Structures are given as structure tokens and as C-alpha cells.
Amino acid sequence: MRRIAKRAAVLVAVLGVGGASSSWLKSSGYDFWQYSTYRKQLQEGVTASETLDLHLEASEERLSLKEAAVRDFLDNRTTFAGLIDQFQQANENNGHLVRYMHDYYPTADAREIAARNAILFISASLSPDLSHRGAILNQVRSEFDRQFPHANPAL
């Protein structure tokens, strides 16, 4: 019986000290009273991380598709119109990019935005010291002007 009384006294003392100096317990990592709050914060962090992972995967997939489409265009396996189609399809689920491009080119429709996005990818994929880089970009700009005669000329 004395043993139970001693254990109860020790438990009451520990709980009393814990209640009186909760900051000490918090700094020691023994803040039991906030467990549910911490658990909720942890779950929110896990959910946010999973959401970011999904967005990253989608972005990487779009980037891969666009890079492959540009390679096909530069290797003459597709036309500029075909390249625009592929970029427009890749941009369908990328509202952030379309809104950004639309802010930058307010008169552009979705197809023109895809064309401008494709030109940026083409320009970035060509080595700066490529001897015929200028000729390729001039050809692309001419094709853009032909397909979008009323577009704002600023590229």
C-alpha cells in the first residue's frame, strides 16, 4: 500500500512541476498538452508537401514534353504549327503560366501564348555559339509573324 502511495505522490509531484513550469517542459520536448495541435500541424505539413510534389511532377512532365517537342521541331520532325499545338496542349493544365503570359501579352489568345512560349523554349535550347542560331530564330519569328499577323510584334 505504501508503494502505491509513493508512486501516486511522485506522479502528483511530476504533474505539479509540469503544470507549474510548462515552459521548461516545452523546451525539453515534453509538452504533452499540445500534442493534438502538433499532430494537426504535422498532418497539414505532410499534405502541403504531397501537394507540392504533385505540382512538381506535373511541371517536370510538361517541361519534358516541351523539350521533346522543341527537339522534334529543330530536327524537322514537326512544323511550327505542330509545335504550337503541342505547347498549347501542355499549357492547358498550367493556369499559372497562361495567366502570367496573358498579363505580359494581354491581347494574345491561348494559341499565341503557346507560340510565344515555344519561341522562348527554342531560343533557350539553342547554344549561344551555334553558327546558325540567328537564322533559326529569324525563321521562327517569320513563321510566327505569318501565323499571327495582328500580334504585338514585341517578342
Per-residue confidence band for 9, with pLDDT thresholds at 50, 70 and 90: low
Residue 71 grid cell: 527537339
pLDDT tier for residue 39 given thresholds of 50, 70 and 90 = confident
Q: Where are the domains of the chain?
A: 59-147
**pTM summary value:** 0.68
Q: Which amino acid is at 46?
A: V
State residue 143's pLDDT score: 96
Instruction: Tell the residue number behind the cell numbers 501579352, with chain if given.
Output: 105
Q: Are 88 and 110 in contact (CB under 8 A)?
A: yes
Confidence tier at 1 by pLDDT (50, 70, 90): low
Amino acid identity at 23: S
